[in-house]
Amino acid sequence: MTKPQPKQLRRAYGFDEVAIVPGNTTINPDQTNIHFTIGDLEFAIPIIAAAMDAVTDVDFAIAMSQLGGLAVLNLEGLQTRYDNPREILAEIARAPDEEVTSLLQKIYSQPIKENLIGQSIQAIKQAGAVCAISVIPSNAKSFAPIIAEAGADILVVQSTVTTSRHTSKSYRGLIFDELCKSVPMPVVVGNCVSFDACLELMRTGISGILVGVGPGAACTTREVLGVGVPQITATMDCASARDEYLKESDRYVPIITDGGFRKGGELCKAFAAGADAVMLGSIFAQAKEAPGLGYHWGMSHPHPALPRGTRIKVGTNGTLEQILFGPTSVTDGSQNLIGALRTAMGVCGAADIKEMHQAEMVIAPAIITEGKSWQFSSRR
Amino acid sequence: MTKPQPKQLRRAYGFDEVAIVPGNTTINPDQTNIHFTIGDLEFAIPIIAAAMDAVTDVDFAIAMSQLGGLAVLNLEGLQTRYDNPREILAEIARAPDEEVTSLLQKIYSQPIKENLIGQSIQAIKQAGAVCAISVIPSNAKSFAPIIAEAGADILVVQSTVTTSRHTSKSYRGLIFDELCKSVPMPVVVGNCVSFDACLELMRTGISGILVGVGPGAACTTREVLGVGVPQITATMDCASARDEYLKESDRYVPIITDGGFRKGGELCKAFAAGADAVMLGSIFAQAKEAPGLGYHWGMSHPHPALPRGTRIKVGTNGTLEQILFGPTSVTDGSQNLIGALRTAMGVCGAADIKEMHQAEMVIAPAIITEGKSWQFSSRR
Amino acid sequence: MTKPQPKQLRRAYGFDEVAIVPGNTTINPDQTNIHFTIGDLEFAIPIIAAAMDAVTDVDFAIAMSQLGGLAVLNLEGLQTRYDNPREILAEIARAPDEEVTSLLQKIYSQPIKENLIGQSIQAIKQAGAVCAISVIPSNAKSFAPIIAEAGADILVVQSTVTTSRHTSKSYRGLIFDELCKSVPMPVVVGNCVSFDACLELMRTGISGILVGVGPGAACTTREVLGVGVPQITATMDCASARDEYLKESDRYVPIITDGGFRKGGELCKAFAAGADAVMLGSIFAQAKEAPGLGYHWGMSHPHPALPRGTRIKVGTNGTLEQILFGPTSVTDGSQNLIGALRTAMGVCGAADIKEMHQAEMVIAPAIITEGKSWQFSSRR
Amino acid sequence: MTKPQPKQLRRAYGFDEVAIVPGNTTINPDQTNIHFTIGDLEFAIPIIAAAMDAVTDVDFAIAMSQLGGLAVLNLEGLQTRYDNPREILAEIARAPDEEVTSLLQKIYSQPIKENLIGQSIQAIKQAGAVCAISVIPSNAKSFAPIIAEAGADILVVQSTVTTSRHTSKSYRGLIFDELCKSVPMPVVVGNCVSFDACLELMRTGISGILVGVGPGAACTTREVLGVGVPQITATMDCASARDEYLKESDRYVPIITDGGFRKGGELCKAFAAGADAVMLGSIFAQAKEAPGLGYHWGMSHPHPALPRGTRIKVGTNGTLEQILFGPTSVTDGSQNLIGALRTAMGVCGAADIKEMHQAEMVIAPAIITEGKSWQFSSRR
């Protein structure tokens, strides 16, 4: 009897499973170029702070922009539901573990106040900072005019999984082609993890893709839904889609690996896998400037019926500037991320991010290969 | 010297090793269809409670049926050996770890009382619930008439491993063709894990297959016998057999993945691997309605000479309704299983279970890929 | 530049990485035949106790023979160095961990007393038991006459690694062809792990092969020397050599998988991989009859310059009869090994050991596949 | 749609993932030849102590040379920055964990005193020992004359990653061809891990290669930069380059596997993978003679802006002679490294290191294959 071939399962790889191979040439780190571009906006460093309430508020967005990066403000988060978000954040930080999910469900059930949207955007703009705002797909069309009017620079449309073709009976699926034409700013969309989904989204005219489903430190999507692709494979697949789309359209749409980062080494691996930029959550939640007061939680966490997340205690680990640029006496890779990236590019002989995309990588699962299981560190 | 090729070893995969890849289209969760059918019986949800004494008694079977699912009553368990099974269950719950196996061996050595069989079936039927009863193969022929007469709807013939060809000198092996013809109800058989064994069983005329050897949380078959196939591979192989049998016979025999589930994500993976329904033990043992009082043990555990199991403390985790439908403030995937299934189908763009069978999966061993080892959770 | 192909590395598998797939037919366990043969000697059960001082003394050898198996007495161990080995064994059991290696080095530096060799063999024979005696290769020629004269039934020539071609300047390498012709009993040789080495040894005329380098629980050969092959692959390779040798010579030389067993399931896997019998150390050190008083150590442990072993506390776990045949209330697979073997053969439909060699196996690493890491049990 | 093929990821292997297969012949350990050669200098044992401040000072270099090996003195370490390095070493040993990195950064910011360079070299030479000195590439040209004049025997040019082609705007990249011609001694260069980089370096005329990026026990390069290749694969690739270079030039340039060793078994595996010698850090930091007082740290640890290392407490484990030659009562493979190497060569039938390069190896990840996870030992 010839057995029919069952479904093929491809091996996918995460950060802890790969390592970068040094190059055959080397370059001094201070000669590396790490600029990053979305639409016509250029950033000195390819690092973006996530649209999570423990990470980005108005002040954090300004600070991040001043340091050369970008932070995304969550339009459906605490900043637009409460006039006094700091009190709410303090309440979340004080809540005991066993009560925090119910508390978050209650807190996030408050309605969004439209006036706070405009105020937040204008505060960021008035400080001379670049302003990026995120909305979920079903809110994109209704909020886009307010966001545009208030002068935001980048619109981010983000949910756990976003595709260019969504079926719903309660609302007409968001048509990204229409959205891109109707707003006067670049649109960044996510999250996605596969070649086809990424390519289809790029063809709608969007200006950036967020890559990553399930990897975040504060996210339990993989436990609850079984859904997720490890970030190295997701980044490599979406990078292939970007390169394919560049060939067919002559337009370069950057991909931004979003979620799951804990160390500088993981950032470097994402770039070697093909990322143009990275989006960080829990690392920035550790900054002195972060609104989360040493705690972090995911934006799927407060879901009223099926919460997917944990509040994790991340503590406070230096200023944002130290985290990005050092100098530091921390040796675990959680500070001086830019120094780490430049040094890794140096040993790979990569003069810019596109050359870093060519770096060789090997599969070398940390837990198996060297017996170094830093994933079991005390903080996790 | 040409070395002869040694035995080929195929890689088999378990729940923690795979993840579902989101689709290129998405669909609103509330538009997904999750009906499930055995013979002519249709169920609103594709979830079955296992024929284990810590899970299913008469009341639990009624509650499960009312919620749209099915529970199987173990005909060779406590419910038919004791007039007062609750006292026995309390005794098991109170026993210290080091004495519980001997106690179970003693308790299960009591004879089955035929009158209790009929009483249990009738109690379930009188409540308007669907009644499924399980027997071991060697008891199937002798008990079938009693079960049929009492009005049960589904006969489940279940042992650790069941094949269509069994050799014994003490009794004539059970002929499933004959059994299926002699009883007026659908016959579900298990457990099996391979393509050939599954296909041969389907050809006997049975109406459903239980898939799974060795994976259960309370089962030590793999330690004691070395026998077992991880559930994703077992499900994929039996799904191939189902599809093959459909081609040759034009009859669709559903496969039910049985055992090893701890979280919603694992259910979703089983459906993506090809399951038509899933059978749960330890998850339901945690329901307030479960007879096990917060404990769970396998049906191979009380074997008089070679016990294979452990009594595990599962605790109590919400009502059956909460476990199935939420809402919940638990974020580890152990509640709102139906919500999780519908959401996973949504991100895969799967409108029904058969479309969910087409979802892409990747190999991404949790312990290696992301350093998230939720298998080391406190309860295990 | 074309890179030269580096050395090929083949993947090798251990017990915890594989599982047996149930068959398409099943058979009642009590109908399985598990006889085992060395030369003309037949044994009711295919289990041999190792030539280790914590396992086999005269009384243990007699008990094992009476139960249908075989135990090998170590001619270079405590039984032939001391008139009062029990006192020495008690001293070892009492020694603190940090002193035990030096103590063993001192104890094993005492000379062998030739008179004790004959006495031990005769004591075993007088009890009507089968007597097997082990020596290291460099002692084989000088001790063989004494062993033969005293009436031993089987001569075992054993060292960490034994080949048919050994180079030494201090003594002429042992020629197995000559040894086999000069002694009136079957010669069993080990240990080896590879196809070629096994086949070459079989061609010298020996009557059995011990398979296994490095796997034992009390052995640190892999840490100290980096040498070792996991037992499933070693067994499969040596089984291939046995089958090849049978083809070329029409003589069936059994292979005995030696070392690394902790549970019944592992025994079953060894037979499915091709073993004709298994040799157990630490499992039998747990028997009430074992001389080790709840401790176990390897025979490379007392090496004067490069000790390779650890004394492990194994505790006492039932009588030898319970360990072999049950009944038991222990559910971790450490008792009723024969019941486990017969049951596993039953679910594979294997009527005898040779049919069990045909059982299908899958690669399913316990620690990755199901999150069941029984290798991290408290005793290890 | 045909998906473009994403970047290929090759699997790379570390020490804990492989094991040596015994050979088809064996040889007495005392008949093995383990000599090692750099340029015209011959060493009785193929073991080199690393240029790390916790390992090698003048006295240690003399002791190592007297025992037949080699130790490399770090020209940019404490010995040449301080007149009283022992006081500084004691200060490091006393520092609490949370302060040690800042302390190291401060200590290593002191300037190098040129007079101490000559004094150190002459002290080693006056004791009749072989003297090897290490410098970083950017210091090589300026310090080479001093080193040569003081009479050193070997010049080691070492940084985390060294290639034959380095781009810098602040200094003209080191040209190894020129360096080799300008100094009257063999030049050893490192570190590198890949075939191409190794081959290019050999073509510059250097006399030895250090292999290894990221594996050291006190090194966090892989966490911080994401860069590193496990040592078995790195050694195999560089051994291929050595063999290729031998074919094209008829010159044999030895490769020295540097870093990540904890046990004798790992040394044996490095030789089986193709190493001509091994360089040890943390193992020698445990010697009574080591200057580190039971502590060890990496030379990237004190980096002022991006420190990459941890100070680890290694303790003190016997004399240097015991560690190298035994005898010992330690059974974990950390002592009698030479005895272990000779014994492993014996069971492989390897009469010299080049024959040991031919030993067969299998992939057998310790943590998966046998459940022996000695990488989780208490000391790490």
Neighbours of chain A (3+ CB pairs under 8 A): B, D
CATH class in words for D26-360: alpha beta
Taking only the tens place, the pLDDT of each residue in D331-349 is 888 999 999 999 999 999 9
| Closest CA in chain A for residue B266 | A226
The percentage of residues in chain C with a pLDDT greater than 70, rounded to a whole number, is 95
Q: B54 is written with which tokens?
A: 């810590």
How many CB pairs below 8 A link B and C? 204
pLDDT interval class at C3 (50, 70, 90): low
Measure the CA–CA gap between C98 and D34, rounded to whole angstroms.
32
Task: Tokens 């059918």: give the residue.
Answer: B37
Average pLDDT, integer, range B156-185:
89
Q: B94 is written with which tokens?
A: 């109170």
pLDDT number for residue B299: 87
Measure the CA–CA gap between D186 and D153, rounded to whole angstroms.
7
pLDDT interval class at A171 (50, 70, 90): low
| Closest CA in chain A for residue B233 | A6
Helix, strand, coil fractions of chain D, as percent rounded to 5: 40, 15, 45
Residue of C16, C230, C308 lying closest to D331 (CB–CB): C308
C369/B12 Cβ within 8 A? yes
* More confident site: A47 or C332: A47
pLDDT interval class at C378 (50, 70, 90): very low
Q: Are B188 and B215 in contact (CB under 8 A)?
A: no
Measure the CA–CA gap between D174 and A190, rounded to whole angstroms.
46
Taking only the tens place, the pLDDT of each residue in C29-82 is 999 999 999 999 999 999 999 999 999 999 999 999 999 999 999 999 999 999
| Closest CA in chain A for residue B271 | A226
pLDDT number for residue D368: 75
The percentage of residues in chain C with a pLDDT greater than 90, rounded to a whole number, is 83
B364/A12 Cβ within 8 A? yes
CA distance D107 to chain A (A): 13
CATH class in words for A36-318: alpha beta
pLDDT reading at C10 higher than 50: yes
The strand ranges marked E within chain A are 10-11, 18-20, 25-27, 36-38, 41-43, 47-49, 70-74, 132-135, 154-158, 165-167, 187-192, 208-211, 255-258, 277-280, 295-296, 312-313, 361-363
B18/A224 Cβ within 8 A? no
Q: Residue type at A131? A: C
Give residue limits of the domains in chain D.
26-360
Tell which residue, C63, C78, C74, has the closest CA to residue C152.
C74
What are the chain A neighbours of B330 within 8 Å (beta carbons)? 101, 307
C328/B306 Cβ within 8 A? yes
CATH code that applies to domain B15-376: 3.20.20.70
Average pLDDT, integer, range D243-250:
97
Q: How many CB atoms lie within 10 A of CB B44?
A: 12
C26/B161 Cβ within 8 A? yes
Q: Residue type at D169? A: K
Q: How many CB atoms lie within 10 A of CB C30?
A: 10
pLDDT number for residue B253: 98
Average pLDDT, integer, range D353-372:
85
Residue of B7, B16, B380 lying closest to C361 (CB–CB): B7
What are the chain C neighbours of B365 within 8 Å (beta carbons)? 368
Measure the CA–CA gap between D195 and B231, rounded to whole angstroms.
42
What are the chain D neighbours of A243 within 8 Å (beta carbons)? 4
CA distance D10 to chain A (A): 5
Measure the CA–CA gap between C183 and C162, rounded to whole angstroms.
19
Taking only the tens place, the pLDDT of each residue in B87-132 is 999 999 999 999 999 999 999 999 999 999 999 999 999 999 999 9
Q: D303 is written with which tokens?
A: 């980096």
pLDDT interval class at A3 (50, 70, 90): low
Q: Are B333 and A220 in contact (CB under 8 A)?
A: yes
B199/A168 Cβ within 8 A? no
pLDDT reading at D242 higher than 60: yes
Q: D98 is written with which tokens?
A: 């949370």
Q: Are B310 and B297 in contact (CB under 8 A)?
A: yes
Task: Tokens 């240690």: give the residue.
Answer: D60
Measure the CA–CA gap between A165 and C91, rounded to whole angstroms.
76
Burial of D99 (0-12, 13-18, 19+ CB in 10 A): exposed
D329/C4 Cβ within 8 A? no
Report the residue of A220, A225, A376 to disrupt the B interface, i.e. the one with the largest count of B CBs within 10 Å.
A225
Tell which residue, A156, A71, A69, A72, has the closest CA to residue A341.
A69
* DSSP 8-state assignment for residue C284: H
pLDDT number for residue C377: 27
Tell which residue, B33, B353, B42, has the closest CA to residue B186.
B42
A373/B368 Cβ within 8 A? no
Report the residue of C330, C372, C377 to disrupt the B interface, i.e. the one with the largest count of B CBs within 10 Å.
C372
CATH code that applies to domain C36-317: 3.20.20.70
CA distance D31 to chain C (A): 7
Question: D122-148 as b/e, with b when 16 or more CB fall inside 10 Å?
Answer: ebbbeeebbbbbbbbbbbbbebbebbb
What are the chain D neighbours of A198 within 8 Å (beta carbons)? none
Average pLDDT, integer, range C89-111:
95
Burial of C294 (0-12, 13-18, 19+ CB in 10 A): middle
pLDDT interval class at C375 (50, 70, 90): very low
Question: D47-60 as b/e, with b when 16 or more CB fall inside 10 Å?
Answer: bbbbbbbbbbbbeb
Neighbours of chain C (3+ CB pairs under 8 A): B, D
Taking only the tens place, the pLDDT of each residue in D106-116 is 999 999 999 99
C363/B12 Cβ within 8 A? yes
CA distance A113 to chain D (A): 42
Measure the CA–CA gap between D182 and D143, rounded to whole angstroms.
12
CA distance B194 to chain C (A): 8
The strand ranges marked E within chain B are 10-11, 18-20, 25-27, 36-38, 41-43, 47-49, 70-74, 132-135, 154-158, 165-167, 187-192, 208-211, 255-258, 277-280, 295-296, 312-313, 361-363
What are the chain A neighbours of D166 within 8 Å (beta carbons)? 25-28
pLDDT number for residue B309: 85
| Closest CA in chain A for residue D162 | A26
pLDDT reading at B372 higher than 80: no
What are the chain D neighbours of A199 within 8 Å (beta carbons)? 1
pLDDT interval class at A58 (50, 70, 90): very high
The percentage of residues in chain B with a pLDDT greater than 90, rounded to a whole number, is 83
Average pLDDT, integer, range D66-73:
98
Ramachandran quadrant class, C300 (left: phi over 0; alpha: psi -120 to 50; beta: rest):
alpha
Q: Residue type at D22? A: P
pLDDT interval class at A370 (50, 70, 90): low
| Closest CA in chain C for residue B105 | C329
Burial of D311 (0-12, 13-18, 19+ CB in 10 A): buried
pLDDT number for residue B28: 94
Taking only the tens place, the pLDDT of each residue in A222-271 is 889 999 999 999 999 999 999 999 999 999 999 999 999 999 999 999 99
Neighbours of chain B (3+ CB pairs under 8 A): A, C
Q: B63 is written with which tokens?
A: 């509650």
Q: Are C40 and C207 in contact (CB under 8 A)?
A: no
Q: D31 is written with which tokens?
A: 């008949």
Q: For strand D10-11 and strand B70-74, is the pairing parallel, antiparallel, or unpaired?
A: unpaired
Task: Tokens 């408050």: give the residue.
Answer: A110
Report the residue of C224, C266, C377 to disrupt the D interface, i.e. the one with the largest count of D CBs within 10 Å.
C224
pLDDT number for residue D4: 67
Measure the CA–CA gap between B209 and B186, rounded to whole angstroms.
11
Q: At what angle do helices C264-273 and C337-347 cross, to 10 degrees?
A: 50
D21/C194 Cβ within 8 A? yes
